[in-house]
A = this chain, B = another copy of it.
Amino acid sequence: MILEKKKIEEHNAVLLEQHQRKFNFFKQECDTVESLVSKLQRFQIAIPSWALGTGGTRFGRFSGKGEPATLEQKIEDVGLLHALNKSSGAISLHIPWDIPQHVEKIKELAASLDLQFDAVNSNTFQDQKGQKHSYKYGSLQDVNPAVRKQAIDHNVSVIQHGVTLGSKALTIWLADGSSFPGQLNFREAFQNTLASLQEIYKNLPPDWKMFVEYKAFEPNFYSTTIADWGQSLLLASKLGPQAYTLVDLGHHLPNSNIEQIVSLLLMEGKLGGFHFNDSKYADDDLTAGSIKPYQLFLIFNELVEGMDHNGMDHATALGWMIDASHNLKDPLLDLLQSVEAIMIAYAQALLVDRAALKRAQLTNDVVQAQEILQHAFRTDVRAVVAEARLRNHAALDPVKLYQELEIRNLLITERGENSIATGL
């Protein structure tokens, strides 16, 4: 299903007057509004192919309806999102769930929807049918060289799929770890992982990046072999200049100060990208900004500060991706809500008066530093985010338009009730 431009124009026409009143009010209070809008217009957040279906927990999965059953349908779903918000102009594929059969047709489809192919993701945390060796006890870390070889080969083949599509990065998330004390020799698990990553790294095209993701726990419950930013940075440093750390918001121990980690990784030139989501207890994969919106803002505050300090382009220097599992909501609506929350946090971070903040910091004026950050966060920036969409010919209110057009029902009609996406 393709969203007609006319639908968006009609929707915008109805909301325009109200929008302009709000945007004009915002403009009065903010003299950098044009720069802000143009940065927001350029900012794109990749949608992972696995987030288009309904996820589940180990206790059960309550499927949604009209899910995309093929790669083409997944790309169409992202096309729908991008048409609605013009901020989701990329898709991140997951191999083997999304192996393209007809590469050229797939590329044409994506191009027709104005979509890029973002980082490709390998999967060595599940066994696939017909797979020779099991990943039950690990993949790149495994004590058995044949298991490691199989996992390395898989990653190399993922790179090759990515090259045909025009991706420029490989994201490696490993479930590797242990569930019981004694199961693993931590040092050897780390060294096996490093040696395996080095093999994969050799196969990286020169203009590619490798993102090394970390996670505190789950699915292993005693140790994870790449458990925190320190371990990921150690690996990325040993691997070479194309290797970077990827931060997933849900992959931390309770109370972690993620914004500080972000700042230090930028300082080291080793932040590669982001997986956005939110969580209250563990790796819950909830909608970005749904639980801790201030933390999301503080992270963007560090991103903007650090990227500007490094002279990096906000829109392109890092990989921006959503990684969430939608168990209860329509995945497309959930993704619209995530993107909106991310754009709001980014806009608020852009509003921070950096010169004044620097002055407050240099005089240890803690009260003033807080006032400056809270002022930006308390400002209602929705109108400026909407204005960026308007100028990009997207919908002023994507969630509302999605609901008014009853897009899910149209997808169910098109695909059937029991269409199920591959993924978790």
Contacts and interface: CB of A to CB of B under 8 A. Distances in A.
A137 B306 contact: no
Contacts of A294: 181, 291-294
A192 B190 CA distance: 31
Contacts of A367: 329-330, 333-334, 337, 399
A148 interface: no
Contacts of A256: 253
Given A59-B424, A281-B216, A424-B58, A180 B366 contact: yes
B126 A179 contact: no
Contact of A186 (B175, B302, B344): B302
A371 B377 CA distance: 18
Contacts of A186: 259-260, 263-264, 302
Interface in A210-256: 216-219, 221-223, 227-231, 233-234, 253-256
Contacts of A135: 60, 62
Interface stretch (A38-46, A73-81, A152-160, A282-290): A282-290
A175 B135 CA distance: 30
A409 interface: no
Interface in A270-313: 279-282, 284-287, 289-294, 298, 301-302, 305-306, 309
A370 interface: yes
A257 B254 CA distance: 13
B180 A370 contact: yes
Interface string A385-399: 000000000000001
A181 B58 contact: no
A267 interface: yes
A105 to B, nearest CB: 31
A280 B255 contact: yes
B260 A227 contact: yes
12 contacts: A21-B28, A58-B424, A180-B370, A181-B291, A181-B369, A186-B264, A217-B281, A223-B257, A254-B254, A290-B370, A329-B366, A341-B374
